Chains A and B, each alone.
Chain A
Amino acid sequence: MTEASKGTLVTGVIGSDTHIVGNRILSRALEQAGFRVVALGALTPASEFVDAAIETNADAILVSSLYGQGELDCRGFRDLCTEAGLGDILLYVGGYLVVGEQPWESVERRFLDMGFDRVFPPGIRPDDVVGPLADDIAERRGGESLSGDQPADGPS
């Protein structure tokens, strides 16, 4: 880390899900776009996303799920963050979130209701995430910092 980054992100694949490839591509692309990425990899329990976000003072958590169990695994994720003092940390989720053919709008609605800030369908490109993410983080940093923390500076 040689300069202040655009933000610190925690990425990983939640639950008993081993599909790591897409998450790895996304993590690499985000790093190249100037974010600090803490990549937890596959088979990550919800609590480990939260622990990592606390220690690294992350700006956002990006949860991937590709085996259709995402709705079960992500239930209560926002509450977990609130309990842990992460408050309004940005939460994104994406992948094959549910089983079977379901209208995207209804899937998106359910995950937004769970407290995720953005929900991404399968087949998107990393650039589709980078843009909104940079905007969302900048917007939060522009406002009052609720945690009372300075923006994270990398060691020189």
Chain B
Amino acid sequence: MNMALLIDFGSTYTKLRAVDLDAAAVVGSGQGPSTVTSDVTVGLDKALTELASHMGGLPRFRHRLASSSAAGGLRMITVGLVPDLTAKAARLAALGAGAKLAGTFSFELTEGDVDDIVDALPDIVLLCGGTDGGNRKVIVHNAQRLAESALACPVVVAGNRSAADTIAGDLQKAGKKIIVTENVMPRHLELNIEPAREAIRQLFVEHIVHAKGIDRARARFDAVLMPTPAAVLQGAHCLADGVAGEPGLGPLVVVDIGGSTTDVHSVCDGHPSHTGVVYHGLPEPHAKRTVEGDLGMRHTARSVVAQIGRDAFSGEAGMSVEAVEALLRRSDDDVGWLPQRDDERQFDQALARRATRLSVTRHAGTHETIYTATGPVTLQRGKDLSEVATIIGTGGVLVHGDDPARTLSAAMAGDHAPLSLMPRSACLMLDADYVLYACGLLGAVEPAAALAFGREALKSLDGERTEKDADHDATAAQ
């Protein structure tokens, strides 16, 4: 048999998926606690034992690949010049590399900023600013500030190349580890984040995996390839665009609702879908990831509710304001609670719908109409997702929740944001077996098999949606 083992060292659990490459199917899974802080091998061995018991022993794996978001994930700080230009490009690069942003800065760093950066204990700082041949004063200043600081982590330099030698000299003299790569915005409004993403991935694989103690289990796998969020983005990329000779699902969006954040990934060009629309601002990447740090099911439940107001939320969840407050308090005290009763489930569904709607609204681009002397003109900022064909949901509340189709349909365009370029009509799918990360990892070595098993493993929700809609319509008509 031709088998692959895909490992995810998550923040709480270490998860395994065994994939039969010939049959393009998940043939086994296992789970153990993530024990990175003590000895990572303990949790991994538990997961492997569980996998072996399901499969009647462990086969010989052709590939054993891992991703990790354990021990705080990949914590990054980004520094750029203008907020909407190189500072934005830096954020897009770090998020696309699977990072958790511990801080984002623009313009010249102050002493206070540098203190905050050092205190945030980042794994990597991404230093950008200026087009090639453009502003060098600010990035040189910022590099000097970082050089003088107690910052211990490596720095990826991806700014004005005319300043690269000066910056590299200053940082190296101060004993900082650096990688110099291409500018994230070499010319005005030209986005070039792949080299920075690759430099971040390289540092992650060569240094951070070791620093976090994950390589203690090295004998049990071949390589840690990337942070888990980057693996999910790669999985989405593979499923959307397909491989040579085998088309994918086409433009798609992934919504990943977690306990403290909601991630949204989109894989599509997102260019204006009608003629006569003018694009404005920095272009956005084909494979784009955003993280909403204030939208989640437990740690940040209070902030989700606050965004629509407690009364409106109570109405939507069909609960009293007091009952909502009680569950919010419970979420503050115990981020691990799981819904048992009906009202708890309603609370979770309402939270998940709101997190979905807000996160996709922020991820999607917008239209704005400008009235000119020659008639109205439409400006587009950000990606147009209106033609997206597939929305994939992942995360516990969708997988174990009552009505994932209803929750996920909150990602669609509606009256709540008429100028938002959210998906208009898309097939809804569920990553019920948590395979997107595995698809992304496998895609690095066997893309055709990754596409085939990923497609097989996703569960379509469209049937359910249609029945439930019909029920709902029937009820409404009575």
Contact = CB atoms under 8 A, between A and B. Distances in A.
Interface in B186-232: 187-189
Q: Which secondary structure dominates chain A's binding surface?
A: loop
Interface string B353-396: 00000000000000000111110010100000000000000000
Contacts of A150: 136, 162
Given A155-B133, A155-B162, A55 B85 contact: yes
A155 B133 CA distance: 6
Given A16-B371, A17-B372, A38-B188, A54 B133 contact: no
Contacts, number: 84
A16 B379 CA distance: 11
A148 B137 contact: yes
B379 A43 contact: yes
A51 B82 contact: yes
Contacts of B129: 55
A62 to B, nearest CB: 14
Contact of A43 (B82, B85, B278): B278
A135 interface: no
A55 B187 CA distance: 9
B371 A56 contact: no
B81 A55 contact: yes
Given A43-B377, A67-B372, A153-B162, A55 B188 contact: yes
B370 A16 contact: yes
Contact of A55 (B130, B162, B278, B372): B130
Nearest to A10: B188
Contacts of A43: 278, 280, 370, 372, 377, 379
B377 A56 contact: no
A1 interface: yes
Nearest to A84: B82
Interface string A116-156: 00000000000000000000000000000001111011110
B185 interface: yes
A153 B133 contact: yes
Interface in B106-148: 129-137
Contacts of B161: 155
Nearest to B281: A48
A18 B371 CA distance: 10
Contacts of A42: 278
A52 interface: yes
B29 interface: no
A36 B370 CA distance: 30
A40 B379 CA distance: 14
B134 A152 contact: yes
Interface in B273-290: 278, 280-281
Interface string B147-161: 000000000000001
A58 B131 CA distance: 10
Contacts of B377: 16, 18, 43
A51 B85 CA distance: 8
B31 interface: no
A51 B135 CA distance: 11
A17 B373 CA distance: 7
Interface in A39-72: 40, 42-43, 48, 51-52, 54-58, 67-68
A8 interface: yes
Contacts of B374: 18
A57 B130 contact: yes
A55 B135 contact: yes
Nearest to B140: A149
Interface string A65-98: 0011000000000000000000000000000000
Contact of A56 (B137, B188, B373, B379): B188
Nearest to A51: B82
Given A16-B371, A153-B162, A155-B162, A55 B185 contact: yes
A67 B187 CA distance: 29
A36 B373 contact: no
A102 to B, nearest CB: 18
Contacts of A57: 130-131, 133-137
Contact of B134 (A8, A18, A40): A8
Nearest to A147: B137
22 contacts: A16-B372, A17-B372, A40-B188, A43-B280, A43-B370, A48-B280, A51-B84, A51-B85, A52-B188, A54-B81, A54-B82, A54-B135, A55-B129, A56-B130, A56-B134, A57-B137, A67-B372, A148-B137, A149-B137, A150-B162, A155-B132, A155-B161
Interface of B: 81-82, 84-86, 129-137, 161-162, 185, 187-189, 278, 280-281, 370-374, 377, 379
A-B CB proximity, top 8 nearest = A56-B134, A57-B135, A57-B134, A38-B188, A16-B372, A51-B82, A154-B133, A67-B373
